[in-house]
Amino acid sequence: MLNASSSDSRVTAPLSEGPCADLHWYAVSTRSRHEKMVRDRLAGIGIEPFLPLTRTLSQWSDRKVWTESPLFSGYCFARFSLMNSHAVLQTPGIVRIVGSVMPEPIPDEELKAIMKLAESARSLERHEYLTEGTWVEVVRGPLTGLRGQLLRKGSQDCLVIRVHLIQQAATVHIDVREVIPLQ
């Protein structure tokens, strides 16, 4: 069972150039298993970090131990102005600021939703990012091995199988937990 925890993952005094600083939330890609260190180092230089954590029960050789690990491995969030991007990029453990061409801010409502989840006492776990139209393969159940496109009909998830030559298709209701995205 996973529990959300933010364990002091935010700092209230971000580094800024004044009251008019253009602060936005960005995702920063980290080196493998460096997320907590990056969070702490960003806080140390005055950048507001946010690292949503999950609490998991792990089996060690001689006992069970509760561990906290990042909800999104390889990523930490930080609130800063792009004028401070050099300081962020110079932080040990950070690979890059995420964006397709240049750093792109994360919409406030998306990050506020993740923060609200992390602050709640509810179980929380990472989920595969699947959107309608994604090409998927069924990995569980009687349809294992089928490939098709994920579609939503009403409140049901469906798998669309197409026969291109006759330009016809069929859909079948499916549980989204039975599929994985195709690469």
For the chain, the domains span: 3-119, 135-181
pLDDT for the residue 121: 72
Q: For 129-158, what is the mean pLDDT?
A: 87
Which comes out higher in pLDDT, residue 136 or 12?
Answer: 136
Q: For the domain covering 3-119, report its CATH number.
A: 3.30.70.940
Average pLDDT for the chain:
85
Q: Among 8-12, 34-38, 146-150, 168-172, whose mean pLDDT is lowest?
A: 8-12
Work out the pLDDT band at 18, boundaries 50, 70, 90: low
Q: For 29-38, what is the mean pLDDT?
A: 97
* Among candidate residues 130, 28, 118, 5, the one with its CA nearest the CA of residue 74: 28
pLDDT for the residue 161: 86
Query: Against a cut of 0.85, is the pTM above it?
Result: no
**Residues β-bridged to residue 148:** 136
Q: In this structure, are residues 84 and 22 in contact, taking their beta carbons and an 8 Å threshold? A: no
- H-helix or E-strand containing 43? helix 35-44
Which comes out higher in pLDDT, residue 16 or 94?
Answer: 94
pLDDT for the residue 162: 83
List Cα–Cα distances, 175 to 40, 130, 143, in angstroms. 39, 12, 11
